[in-house]
Amino acid sequence: MRILDEKPVTWSGTVRASLEDADVFPKTESGHLRTWVGVGGSPQSVIRAAHYGLPLMLAVVGGQPERFAPYIDLYRQAAEQSGTAPQSVGMHSPGFIAETDEEARELFYPRYKVIRDRIGATRGWPPLRRQEFDTELEFGSMYVGSPETVARRMASSIATLGVDRFDLIYTSGTLPMSARMKAVELFGTRVIPLVRDILAGRPAEIK
C-alpha cells in the first residue's frame, strides 16, 4: 500500500524479504499507482480489499455470474465497517469473438478443451464435454460468439452484478494470432458500442 504512493519504502514483515528504500519506476503522472485486488471467491480477500480501500476485480471464470453478487455486498459492508470508501468493482471472464456464433465456438472450443482438461486432470474433474461447454455459453460466465451475442451477454452480467468494469480474457491456448487480433478489433469496434447502447436503453440502435 505504501509503494502505491511512489515514494521510497523501508519495510519488514513476516512473509517476504524486507524492503529498504525500495522505489518504483517509471513514475506515473498522477503520482499514485492504481491497483485492483483480484478475487476468485475468497471472502477474506474481499474483506481485505475493502479494508485497504482498493478496487475489487472478481474472477468470474465459470458458473452463473449472479453467484458473485454476495461478494459485492460483502465488499461494501466491509468497507463501511472499516471506515473506507468502497471503490470500483469489476469482473474478469473468458470469451472470444468472431463474425458469427458458429465460427467463434468452433475456433474456441478445441483449444479451450485442451486447457480445461489439463487443469481438470490435476483437480479430479472429468474431461470437458461439448454439451457442458454449450451450457456454459448459454447460462454461465463465458462470452463466446458474434459481437451481438457477446454484447448482450456482457450487458446482462454487468447489469445483474452492477459492476463498473468488464475485462474479457480474449484468448485461449493455441488460437491463431489472426483470430485473436480479429477478436480484439470486434471487441473494440462493435461489442463495446453495443454494450453501451444496451445499458443506456437504446435498443433501437442495436443491429
Q: Grid coordinates standing for 108?
A: 474456441
- Sorted by where each starts, the structural domains of the chain and their CATH numbers stand as 1-34 (no CATH), 35-205 (3.20.20.30)
Digits of tens for pLDDT over the chain (207 positions)? 888 999 999 999 999 999 999 998 889 999 888 899 999 889 999 999 999 999 999 999 889 999 999 999 999 999 999 999 989 999 999 999 999 999 999 999 999 999 999 999 999 999 999 999 999 999 999 999 999 999 999 999 999 999 999 999 987 778 999 999 999 999 999 999 999 999 998 754 444
Give me the amino acid identity at 175: L
Distance (Å, whole) CA 113 – CA 146: 20
- What is the predicted pLDDT for the residue at 134? 95
Rounded-to-integer distance, Cα 135 and Cα 68, Å: 19
Report pLDDT for 203: 57
Beta strands 89-97 and 56-59 are parallel
Strands in 65-206 per DSSP E? 89-97, 143-145, 165-169
The SS3 call for residue 185 is helix
